Amino acid sequence: MNFVKRLSTVLIKFCIFPIRVLLFGGMIITHHKGEFFKITFGDTTIAFNPISKKSKLPQTKFGADIALVSLNNPDFNGIQEVERKGKELFVINGPGEYEIKSVFVHGLPTPSAYPADGLGGENLINTIYAVNLEGMNLLFLGALKDKSVMDFKIIEDMDSVDILFIPIGNDRVLSPADAQALATTLEAKIIIPMHFDGIGANDALKDFLKEAGQENTELLEKLVIKKRDLTEARGEVRVIVS
């Protein structure tokens, strides 16, 4: 069933959607290097690809309600860093359909350029996630390397891609040119680049903004966004830095 229709059915049934919008009014997105994002809306916190202690990247600790992991690699699988004492963490670390706290998630597998053993063995699976929350559709591509293997079935149930998290680093992930081409194909309203801070090619962000024709994009410490902010948005790049 369509993600938005499913969400509407649940929220109307329990009469909570208008209350949540009135009280909380949107979501706050922060970036913590690599592909690590924190999304907060109301009393719920979601972590995408948290960085593990085994990574060379610096870690950020906070308590999350939901954690999504695209790839079983220390740069992306630091579940322990977003656990909090006395509260259960709902972990999603692979393909499937999930529902937790009025958040709907659909994960589909894609090949990655990350070897399973770090020594050139069979590559790991990268899971891309379509997430519906607060009436908005998020698409998180993780460590996607090849835009030609993108399975567009994942967005068939989405009315639109409201916010796209896309890797641009050209180091085992999409190149800046391929990332911009895919974002255009997906007709994303808001584009949030990742895999450029701490990992990825040195000039990845500069090259991506040039490809997008948005070289003067402001660097943000956080992005605060409401559904109404998406009404006129068309392919707008928002760079969130740590």
Residue ranges of domains in the chain: 3-240
Q: pLDDT per residue over 65-83, tens digit each?
A: 999 999 999 999 999 999 9
Q: Give yes or no for a contact between 167 and 140, defined as CB atoms under 8 angstroms apart.
A: no
Instruction: Give per-residue burial for 47-59: e unless 16+ CB within 10 Å, then b.
Output: bbbbbbeebebeb
CB atoms within 10 A of CB 177: 15
* CATH number of the structural domain 3-240: 3.60.15.10
Please tell me the distance from the alpha carbon of residue 220 to that of residue 156, in angstroms, as a whole number. Answer: 31
Q: Where are the alpha helices (DSSP H) in the chain?
A: 3-14, 17-24, 176-186, 204-212
Please tell me the distance from the alpha carbon of residue 145 to that of residue 28, in angstroms, as a whole number. Answer: 27
Amino acid at 184: T
CA 197 to chain centre: 15
pLDDT at 134: 85
- Phi, psi of 106, rounded to the nearest 5 degrees: -130, 120
**Mean pLDDT per segment of 10 residues, for the chain of length 242 residues?**
42 37 69 98 96 96 97 96 91 96 93 80 90 94 91 74 97 96 95 97 97 96 94 95 92
| Terminal CA-CA length for the chain | 37
